[in-house]
């Protein structure tokens, strides 16, 4: 379907807002973008869902109603019998009970007795997909003219979205992903993964166990007179904070121990079950584990210490470097301007700057809210002086984590701030404990950098020149030790 008229209509709305006397134009831009993409359907809704997990984009104008973007996508007509072998079922419902941006889900029962969910790829998801993705990339170039990149980096978001979308509609790959996670969690008392029936599935339909229970998105939409905690207790008898703590712990445990990381933990993919159990559905996106699990552990350990009141920001900075950009960390670690490594000097200098600016409280607030990217780009390297660039695998993992943390943040806003803080802190604490209970992780830090020795000197010279130009405080702190 040609989207040019709808794109033109959105452009007209944004321009009209810009030329209007509206006082809060940023909120009106967000609203116009949200509802325009929602009306366009299909791949545009999936892009919108990713935007909606960013608290900066939703802040200031949205309410529970907008969270329906994760659940109530318009159903398109299709015949379920065209996608599965009907002879294997004792019954099949012809109307979808759930719909997403790429799929519709139907309920049925196998002749062997199992109640199943049949996830069918929407025909419209693959029609004109390349043109739709090109349109989204073009939109991402236009939107920053109205909304600042501090809200969302639309260009980077669109580029990543294009890469992950084609993987997400590869059902053969998703079937393999479900099988992996089902086997991984088979004996876990807290996490439920649907069993996939590979022999009944195909490249257009996935047959898997039906998991009853509300999604986190449904609970977040809630009602006007009940908060999500009460709704969860009423529907399944579970404690929502305990469930989110369990899920947060398991998300990190995947990064510490598993072969793959769950890449799409938005609230529509998290099922809230009785007995404080959590179900996970939709495995179209998975992420490789970090290049160094130990570096992630060190980062989470130091992060947890800050949440518990210890003020060693320099330790967090060093561990963040090793996890997020190991090549740069090695270069800085292996060179020094005095008895300490340059990495140590940078970490101490940033910490000293925060003290001098009396910004420790701001930093601790960022930690308490789990704002991972704000920590890197708006606190540690606000002016881009350190040329801080997160490696791709770690970037994908952090973005996946941020999707879940943004959902928890919104819950905290609707309940109280302590709900989010304790779920975040206790989730990290549970994962740190799991590592310690297993005797720790091996020191799998990378031993060599992709930079040669000569390139390493060039990198250091570039960083020092950048600091001299963009961050005199850190430059002077480092220079004073020479």
Residue-level pLDDT at 252: 95
Indicate if the pLDDT at residue 150 is higher than 60: no
Indicate if the pLDDT at residue 482 is higher than 70: no
pLDDT bucket at 119, cuts 50 / 70 / 90? very high
Indicate if the pLDDT at residue 321 is higher than 80: yes
Question: What is the mean pLDDT of the segment spanning 454-466?
Answer: 85
Nearest to 475 by CA among 314, 345, 362: 345
For the segment 402-436, what is each residue's pLDDT rounded down to a tens digit? 888 888 888 877 788 788 889 999 999 999 999 99
- Domain residue limits, the chain: 4-67+129-161, 77-121+170-210, 293-479
Q: Within 13 A of 433's CA, how many CA atoms are on the CB side?
A: 9
Provide the percentage of residues in the chain whose pLDDT is more than 90: 37
Indicate if the pLDDT at residue 303 is higher than 70: yes
Q: What is the pTM of this model?
A: 0.83
Question: Of all helices (H) and strands (E), which one includes residue 34?
Answer: helix 25-40
For the segment 245-298, what is each residue's pLDDT rounded down to a tens digit? 999 999 999 999 999 999 989 888 999 999 999 999 999 889 899 989 999 999
Question: What is the mean pLDDT of the segment spanning 223-240?
Answer: 89
Question: Of all helices (H) and strands (E), which one includes residue 177?
Answer: helix 171-184
How much is the mean pLDDT over the chain?
85
Tell me how many helices (H) and strands (E) the chain has: 21, 10
In the CATH scheme, what is the homologous superfamily, with its name and number, of domain 77-121+170-210?
Phosphorylase Kinase; domain 1 (3.30.200.20)
Indicate if the pLDDT at residue 380 is higher than 60: no
- Round to whole Å and give the CA distance between 107 and 19: 49
For the segment 446-459, what is each residue's pLDDT rounded down to a tens digit? 888 888 888 888 88
Edge-to-edge strand ranges of the sheet holding 278-280:
191-192, 278-280, 270-272
């Amino acid at each position: 379907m040609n989207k040019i008229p709808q794109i033109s209509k959105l452009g007209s709305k944004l321009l009209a807002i810009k030329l209007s006397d509206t006082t809060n134009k940023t909120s009106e831009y967000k609203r116009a973008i949200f509802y325009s993409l929602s009306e366009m359907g299909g791949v545009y809704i999936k892009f919108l869902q990713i935007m909606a997990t960013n608290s900066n984009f939703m802040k200031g104008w949205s309410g529970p109603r907008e969270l329906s973007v994760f659940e109530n996508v318009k159903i398109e007509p299709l015949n379920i019998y065209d996608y599965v072998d009907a002879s294997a079922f004792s019954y099949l419902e012809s109307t979808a009970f759930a719909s997403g941006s790429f799929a519709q889900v139907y309920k049925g029962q196998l002749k062997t007795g199992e109640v199943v969910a049949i996830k069918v790829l929407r025909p419209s998801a693959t029609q004109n997909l390349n043109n739709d993705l090109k349109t989204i990339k073009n939109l991402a170039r236009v939107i920053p003219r109205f909304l600042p990149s501090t809200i969302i980096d639309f260009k980077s978001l669109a580029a990543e979205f294009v890469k992950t979308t084609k993987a997400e509609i590869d059902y053969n790959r998703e079937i393999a992903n479900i099988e992996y996670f089902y086997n991984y969690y088979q004996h876990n008392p807290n996490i439920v993964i649907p069993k996939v029936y590979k022999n009944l599935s195909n490249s257009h339909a996935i047959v898997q166990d039906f998991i009853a229970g509300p999604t986190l998105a449904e609970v977040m939409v809630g009602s006007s007179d009940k908060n999500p905690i009460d709704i969860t207790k009423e529907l399944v008898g579970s404690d929502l904070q305990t469930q989110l703590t369990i899920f947060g712990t398991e998300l990190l445990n995947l990064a510490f121990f598993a072969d793959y990381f769950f890449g799409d933990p938005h609230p529509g993919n998290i099922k809230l079950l009785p007995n404080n159990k959590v179900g996970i559905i939709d495995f179209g996106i998975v992420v490789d584990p970090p290049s160094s699990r130990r570096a992630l552990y060190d980062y989470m350990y130091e992060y947890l210490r800050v949440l518990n009141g210890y003020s060693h920001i320099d330790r967090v900075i060093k561990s963040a470097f090793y996890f997020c950009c190991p090549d740069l960390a090695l270069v800085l670690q292996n060179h020094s301007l005095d008895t300490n490594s340059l990495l140590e000097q940078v970490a101490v200098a940033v910490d000293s700057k925060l003290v001098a600016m009396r910004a420790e409280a701001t930093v601790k607030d960022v930690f308490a809210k789990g704002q991972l990217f704000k920590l890197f780009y708006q606190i540690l390297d606000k002016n881009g002086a350190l040329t801080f660039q997160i490696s791709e695998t770690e970037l994908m993992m952090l973005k996946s984590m941020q999707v879940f943390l943004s959902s928890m943040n919104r819950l905290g806003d609707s309940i109280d701030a302590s709900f989010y803080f304790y779920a975040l802190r206790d989730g990290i604490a549970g994962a740190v404990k799991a590592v310690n209970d297993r005797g720790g992780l091996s020191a799998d830090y990378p031993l060599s950098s992709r930079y040669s020795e000569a390139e390493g000197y060039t990198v250091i010279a570039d960083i020092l020149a950048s600091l001299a130009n963009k961050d005199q405080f850190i430059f002077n702190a480092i220079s004073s030790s020479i």
